Homo-oligomer: A and B are copies of this chain.
Amino acid sequence: MHLIASHPYAGTPVGEILDNTLDTNGKMVRASLVLCAGAFGPDYETKEDRLSMLAAMVELTHLASLVHDDIVDEADFRRGKPSIQSKYHKDAAVYAGDFLITRVNYYEAKEHLNEAAAVLSQTIERMCAGEIGQAICRYNAQTSIAEYLNNIKGKTVELFKCACRIGAQESGCSEDVVCKLEEFGENLGLMFQLRDDLLDFTSTKDVMGKATHIDFREGIYTLPVLAARDLDKSGKLLSIMQKNKSESLTDKEISETEKLVIDLGGVDAAIMEIRSCQSKIEGLLRELPECKSTSLLSELVSKLAI
């Protein structure tokens, strides 16, 4: 994160908050995608500096979105550490997130990364729209699968697509390769979010190292639940979802809901969707020319397989 290391607030209380925001141990999947996509282009070697800058920008954008998401979710922890909003209050979190987005813009302008900046900006708009869409759907038991997919495409998938596009563009890939890599990013992002949502619903705290069923409790209905609801002729799940809006369900009720969703086939539906993304991704990897990031990308996909 050298783009930020030199901020002029070092040693001040403001700087402490910024440093804390940046002191993170994420997996940097999105940054890796920029570099991996870049490796498909003929100009990869000469553009390494600019690609690294783009990778950092995409990762900082993701980080900013996490800081802002935690305000909305009132999350106490992020990546195993207290979230900015819980440690320094939401005031600081609003502006720390804004600061990160702005630092990205500064470097875009200064380094004349205009083409990538335009793509990234439109991506962030769609991320915001996805998050607003998710907020609108909260606790709405009638949310359709299409609305859910639309929201996760905005909030998660767009940045994966963008990472692939700007990496590929910068290194001079043909538009055909750029589009294939973008489609790769789209399916990877979808697989990533569907898997995340599925694990939140079916895994346990012991396995995940964090509380589960958070989405359901917070009224964010994900694919297993929505698919099960659509398959449920009795309307039982729908009435649980309606009850969830007006009162907190007990742990026992949550675990009964999980069993119901599994029995109705909601989890199977989500697994099928994840595998369908995986199969599209593998097809795309076969179509793309071989390059030094091919095996890395395959590895990334197999880590997300279910």
Residues of A within 8 A of B (CB): 7, 9, 13-14, 17, 68, 71-72, 88-92, 94-99, 101-103, 105-106, 108-110, 112, 114-115, 117-118, 121-122, 124-125, 127-129, 131-133, 135-136, 138
Contact = CB atoms under 8 A, between A and B. Distances in A.
A89 to B, nearest CB: 7
A103 B136 CA distance: 22
Given A91-B135, A110-B114, A132-B91, A68 B105 contact: no
A14 B89 contact: no
A221 to B, nearest CB: 16
A102 B101 contact: yes
Given A109-B108, A109-B121, A135-B89, A94 B68 contact: yes
B125 A103 contact: yes
A125 B108 CA distance: 15
A95 B14 contact: no
A67 to B, nearest CB: 10
B128 A98 contact: yes
Contact of A99 (B13, B115, B117, B125): B125
Contacts of A118: 106, 109-110
B98 A136 contact: no
A108 B9 CA distance: 26
A14 B124 CA distance: 14
